[in-house]
Amino acid sequence: MSATSSTNKKQAAITGVFGYVPDYVLTNQELETMVDTNDEWIKTRTGIEERRILKEEGVGTSFMATKAVKGLLEKTNTKPEEIDFLICATATPDMQFPATGNVIAHQSGLNCLSYDLMAACSGFLYGLVTGSQFIETGKYKKIIVVGADKMSSIINYEDRQTCVLFGDGAGAVLLEANEEGNGVIDSILRTDGAGATELYMKAGGSRYPATPETVANKEHYVTQNGAVVFKHAVKNMADTSAELAEKHGLTGDTIDFLVPHQANLRIIDATAKRLGLDSEKVLVNIAKYGNTTCATIPLCLRDFEDKFKKGDNLVLAAFGGGFTWGAVYLKWAY
């Protein structure tokens, strides 16, 4: 029996979405004054026109995530004390410890279990699936999954390969039980540590703690082997999405929307082509925000929320450093 044919099983459904992006807009034209690049090259290669940057002094990922969580609570008329669990997916925690999720929960007035989940750009999907398990078992009733990153804090704006790609932002979803057959139906999540040195930040952890040398060598910034990452992202995002669709008998006609990680327009196009989707079914906002890492998918859900109808079939797909990747099949609940 397929997972979609039973309405008795308790599913974890998204019942609200909210997002936050900083006010400052870093355009391709401004980047032209900072590094050897140009607007046409960036748009052609990535699809990005601008990205948001958190400029305020002394604030980090938790600042944006708290804005998203508070907005979500208000939008869904949810009291802080009703939340049982908060998962923060991030690649740029405020500090090594405490967990940024702890900080967000405190700043949002929550008194619940909270922690960070780190899986690079796939973090939000991993968090969504993790939270779903707690809903399905009945352990918790209301869970917030927030994906947030201040990528500008780990980007070298003299590196033309990476500085054009990333932006800052946060997006949050509320998960609750659903017995109508809507919600998270299935997922495929994978990792391959062989890709660890193709997209990574070398220094700042226990292996290479901060020293004058690591700072001078600019080892506290994102390093990426663009060609290798692109190749793996195209293949793996498309493969898992297609595998999940085939498992549930989904086709280009029955998938209502693809909600892809916004890393590169060419990667998104390859995944959509593999699923046989027309362009109007592919949700893209990369031009406005760039790659906000763990925030891309929830921000996409926020931006296109008005398009969704109850029962719509959504495929969420992501790829990130690690390597990490995966796809989630969910039926929209409202």
Active-site option among 112, 121, 294, 300: 121
Active site residue 313: no
Concatenate the DSSP letters of all residues of 19-55 into one string: EE--SEEEEHHHHHTTSS--HHHHHHHH---EEEE--
Which alpha helices (DSSP H) does 47-108 contain, by range? 61-75, 100-107
Active site residue 261: yes
- What amino acid is encoded at 116 in this protein? D
SS3 at position 175: strand
Active-site option among 291, 294, 300, 313: 291
Can you name the residues that pair with 12 across neighbouring β-strands? 177
Q: Give the contacts of 327 (CB within 8 A, at least 6 positions apart).
A: 125, 187, 188, 237, 240, 241, 243, 244, 315, 316, 317, 318
- Rg (C-alpha) for the chain, rounded Å, is 19
Please give the DSSP secondary-structure letter assigned to residue 291.
B
Active-site option among 261, 264, 300, 313: 261
From CA 272, how far away is CA 255, in angstroms rounded? 11
Active site residue 220: no
Known catalytic residues?
A: 121, 261, 291
